[in-house]
């Protein structure tokens, strides 16, 4: 267990960014004596000064590199977490001082910024968001013109170097060169219109394919509040309701994709037990509406969909209420990509055959087989929708469709409404992905109905992810003690099991040199799976992930759990209040003490119990009470 007194001193990293931009907890600069960069590096905290500095460095770099002129419009949008606009205003100030004219997009989903950038031919767009992270965090995402691409590692490194080179004291009192202007009304309208165009929603003309369905929308109190429900209504859904639509700053709380990520189905028993998943507002509403409809015993009962987004609207999961089993089925990004690709190939095989279908190493190993069987050319990338966007740019007309297991969905879009000319664009877009997946389900359903079509979008293999939260991520990188320890654990497990049939082959994934990645091969079947360990690019957690055939489930789960316990032992950050609270929580449960919020001052008790129960699976509920899982017992033995 690491603490501040024994953290190794490290040089400044070459990249401040994670998987997608930079993000972290936010606090006022007045609370810290150090400068904005030192506060972020030393404490992991973003201040308003950091937002000003970071955006200044980005825009000034574009000017000095000749990629924009002073006075060019720089688009900036945000999600709804920063109610007082403290961090938004600081970012706007940095843009204006650097020589950009800030075009305020207002509260707008991240893909909306990409659409506006391509349409308006702006040099760059900035989004102030921490996406699916809790509301006490914020961050910065960047798009570049003319195609709306995201930063790759080499871009991150250039910007990081510029951030280091800027003396914040010199810009603190610098004059703003240009005044911001409000572009929010027009760009919100552009975003809505984009999704009502049949070329983007895949709906043909006035076809009322959605009229027989009901949908409940969960925008996670974020940027898609009101917008998504409006679009679904315009598309003709028979009933549209919204939950978690208050833009009060409390984004992602008991809502959104992160809360239910990794869950395939919520049974009636799990929901009625009051588990952490039962707090999710969309899940609650779906059981309420689904059970009410089932009591009417109507043979023509309409399908009940739910769609959950994250705060900035670039990810989604699709949910369906299963009246037969009184459960809620959750379709992951892999499931939705499988449905979309099946529909496209069934609708126009000559158009799509041979095109690229891209997904990341986190996807089910059998998704590659599914893509190949349809006639797509599968490509596996590093984690992050930026890598799929890169493939789309490289492939041009030969790109088909892409997505991430975590809910990003990428397919071709067409700019419309008041653009100088129509242009192709690609962006991780939760709303577009949800619309296209629901349409695909309806088209593929046939006589069996959408629920049957949704049960097995493809022949899935085994997927397992084990998480360690509240860790010092700096301890895990290629060649580090923790990295070598994880490698040793995995090799020992695989050398002792099926050693004549299975072997691990180390690979380095482009863009993620610090990921510990092994392909699993069989002497008679070739590549049969993968197992990998990687730091989260957005949160203080690390994961062990396994993908393979279902017959390997026991071995793969054992390997993941063994690695994650070792990493918890080596990397847990003793200075993190949540780590301290987790240990206290597990000890109370082991002594059969019922934990109550009042015993855990200073931490979000609901978040603590949810992450410990659902995400890390260290405890579960039995008879209405928490009990430790074998994984929780194993962790407690280490502490």
pLDDT tens sequence across 203-235: 876 567 899 899 999 999 999 999 999 999 999
Is 632's pLDDT higher than 70?
yes
Q: Residue 171: which CATH number?
A: 3.40.120.10
Residue 14 within a domain: no
* Residue of 61, 59, 63, 21 whose CA lies nearest to 40: 21
Is 366's pLDDT higher than 90?
yes
Tokens of 409: 């969905």
Provide, rounded to the nearest whole percent, the portion of the chain with pLDDT above 90: 87
283 and 419 share a domain? Answer: yes
Backbone angles phi, psi at 555, to 5 degrees: -65, -45
Please give the tally of structural domains in the chain.
4
Calpha distance 526→541 (Å, rounded)? 32
Residue 228 within a domain: yes
Q: Which residues contact 153 (CB under 8 A, 6 or more apart)?
A: 15, 511
605 and 638 share a domain? Answer: yes
Residue 316 within a domain: yes
Mean pLDDT within 369-396: 96
- Per-residue confidence at 3, pLDDT binned at 50, 70, 90? very low
- Per-residue confidence at 437, pLDDT binned at 50, 70, 90? very high
Calpha distance 609→269 (Å, rounded)? 19
List the Cα angle 628/634/635 in 5-degree steps: 85
Last residue of a domain, one of 541, 573, 605: 573
Is 503's pLDDT higher than 50?
yes
68 and 159 share a domain? Answer: yes
* Residue of 139, 167, 172 whose CA lies nearest to 45: 139
Neighbours of 416 (CB within 10 A): 17
pLDDT tens sequence across 277-321: 999 999 999 999 999 999 988 766 789 999 999 999 999 999 999
Residue 4 confidence (pLDDT):
40
Tokens of 222: 């974020």
331 and 422 share a domain? Answer: yes
Mean pLDDT within 412-421: 86
DSSP run (H or E) holding 248: none
Residue range of the domain that includes 564: 461-573
Calpha distance 602→135 (Å, rounded)? 16
* Tokens 């397919």 found at: 411
Residue 2 within a domain: no
Residue 300 confidence (pLDDT):
65
Residue 625 within a domain: yes
Calpha distance 221→410 (Å, rounded)? 23
Residue 15 within a domain: no
pTM value?
0.92
Residue 191 within a domain: no
Sign of the Cα pseudo-torsion (67, 70, 73, 77, in order): positive
482 and 551 share a domain? Answer: yes
569 and 597 share a domain? Answer: no
* Residue of 428, 425, 429, 409 whose CA lies nearest to 340: 409
214 and 296 share a domain? Answer: yes
Backbone angles phi, psi at 601, to 5 degrees: -65, 145
- Per-residue confidence at 497, pLDDT binned at 50, 70, 90? low
588 and 480 share a domain? Answer: no
Mean pLDDT within 183-202: 95
Residue 433 confidence (pLDDT):
98
Q: Provide the pairing of β-strand 409-411 with 399-403.
A: antiparallel
What are the beta bridge partners of residue 405?
none
Peptide bond into 146 cis (omega under 30): yes
Average pLDDT, rounded, for the chain = 93
Residue 207 confidence (pLDDT):
67
543 and 563 share a domain? Answer: yes
Residue 206 confidence (pLDDT):
57
Q: Which residues contact 219 (CB under 8 A, 6 or more apart)?
A: 225, 226, 227, 228, 229, 242, 244, 245, 255, 309, 313
- Per-residue confidence at 5, pLDDT binned at 50, 70, 90? very low
pLDDT tens sequence across 60-88: 999 999 999 999 999 999 999 999 999 99
Residue 11 within a domain: no
Residue 205 confidence (pLDDT):
62
419 and 479 share a domain? Answer: no
96 and 146 share a domain? Answer: yes
Q: Which residues contact 295 (CB under 8 A, 6 or more apart)?
A: none
Backbone angles phi, psi at 181, to 5 degrees: -135, 150
Last residue of a domain, one of 420, 455, 490: 455
Mean pLDDT within 427-452: 92
pLDDT tens sequence across 246-288: 999 999 999 999 999 999 999 999 999 888 899 999 999 999 9
Last residue of a domain, one of 573, 603, 627: 573
122 and 32 share a domain? Answer: yes
Calpha distance 493→490 (Å, rounded)? 5
* Residue of 187, 52, 169, 165 whose CA lies nearest to 110: 187
């Amino acid at each position: 267990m690491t603490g501040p007194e024994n953290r190794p001193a490290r040089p400044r990293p070459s990249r401040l960014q994670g998987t997608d931009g930079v993000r972290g907890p936010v606090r006022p600069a007045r609370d810290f004596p150090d400068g904005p960069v030192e506060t972020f590096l030393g404490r992991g905290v973003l201040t308003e000064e950091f937002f000003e500095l970071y955006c200044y460095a980005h825009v000034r770099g574009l000017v000095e590199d000749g990629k924009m002129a002073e006075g060019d419009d720089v688009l900036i949008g945000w999600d709804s977490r920063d109610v007082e606009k403290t961090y938004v205003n600081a970012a706007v100030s940095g843009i204006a001082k650097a020589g950009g004219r800030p075009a305020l997009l207002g509260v707008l989903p991240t893909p909306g910024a990409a659409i506006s950038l391509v349409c308006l031919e702006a040099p760059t767009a900035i989004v102030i968001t921490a996406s699916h992270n809790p509301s006490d965090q914020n961050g910065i995402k960047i798009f570049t013109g003319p195609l709306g691409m995201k930063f790759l590692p080499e871009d991150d490194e250039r910007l990081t170097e510029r951030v280091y080179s800027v003396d914040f004291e010199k810009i603190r009192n610098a004059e703003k060169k240009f005044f911001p202007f409000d572009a929010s009304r027009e760009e919100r309208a552009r975003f809505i219109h984009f999704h009502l165009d049949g070329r983007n929603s895949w709906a043909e003309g006035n076809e009322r394919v959605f009229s027989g369905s009901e949908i409940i929308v969960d925008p996670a109190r974020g940027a898609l509040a009101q917008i998504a429900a409006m679009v679904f209504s315009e598309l003709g859904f028979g009933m549209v309701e919204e939950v978690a639509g208050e833009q009060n700053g409390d984004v992602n709380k008991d809502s959104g994709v992160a809360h239910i990520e990794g869950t395939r189905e919520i049974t009636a028993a799990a929901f009625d037990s009051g588990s952490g998943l039962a707090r999710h507002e969309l899940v609650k509403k779906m059981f309420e509406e689904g059970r009410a409809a089932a009591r009417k015993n109507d043979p023509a009962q309409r399908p009940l969909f739910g769609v959950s987004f994250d705060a900035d609207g670039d990810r989604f999961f699709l949910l369906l209420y299963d009246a037969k089993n009184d459960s809620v089925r959750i379709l992951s990004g892999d499931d939705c990509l499988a449905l979309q690709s099946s529909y496209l190939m069934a609708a126009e095989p000559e158009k799509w055959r041979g095109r690229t279908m891209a997904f990341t190493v986190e996807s089910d190993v059998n998704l590659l087989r599914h893509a190949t069987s349809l006639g797509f050319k599968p490509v596996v990338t590093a984690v992050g929708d930026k890598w799929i966007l890169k493939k789309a740019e490289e492939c041009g007309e030969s790109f088909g469709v892409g997505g991430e297991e975590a809910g990003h969905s990428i397919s071709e879009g067409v700019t419309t409404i008041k653009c100088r000319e129509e242009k192709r664009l690609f962006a991780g877009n939760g709303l577009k992905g949800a619309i296209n997946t629901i349409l695909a389900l309806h088209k593929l359903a046939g006589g069996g109905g959408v629920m049957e079509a949704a049960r097995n979008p493809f022949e899935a293999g085994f997927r397992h992810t084990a998480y360690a939260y509240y860790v010092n991520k700096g301890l895990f990188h290629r060649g580090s003690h923790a990295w070598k320890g994880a490698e040793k654990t995995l090799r020992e497990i695989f050398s002792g099991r099926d050693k004549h049939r299975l072997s691990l082959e180390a690979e380095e994934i482009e863009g993620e040199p610090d990921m510990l990645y092994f392909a699993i091969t069989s002497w008679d079947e070739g590549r049969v799976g993968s197992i990998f360990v990687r730091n989260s690019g957005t949160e203080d957690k690390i994961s062990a992930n396994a993908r393979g055939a279902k017959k390997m489930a026991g071995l793969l789960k054992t390997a993941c759990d063994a690695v994650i316990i070792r990493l918890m032992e080596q990397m847990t950050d003793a200075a993190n209040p949540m780590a301290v609270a987790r240990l206290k929580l597990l000890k109370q449960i082991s002594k059969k003490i019922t934990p109550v919020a009042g015993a855990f001052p200073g931490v979000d008790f609901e978040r603590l119990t949810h992450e410990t129960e659902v995400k890390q699976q260290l405890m579960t509920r039995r008879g209405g009470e928490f009990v430790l899982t074998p994984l929780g017992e194993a962790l407690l033995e280490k502490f």
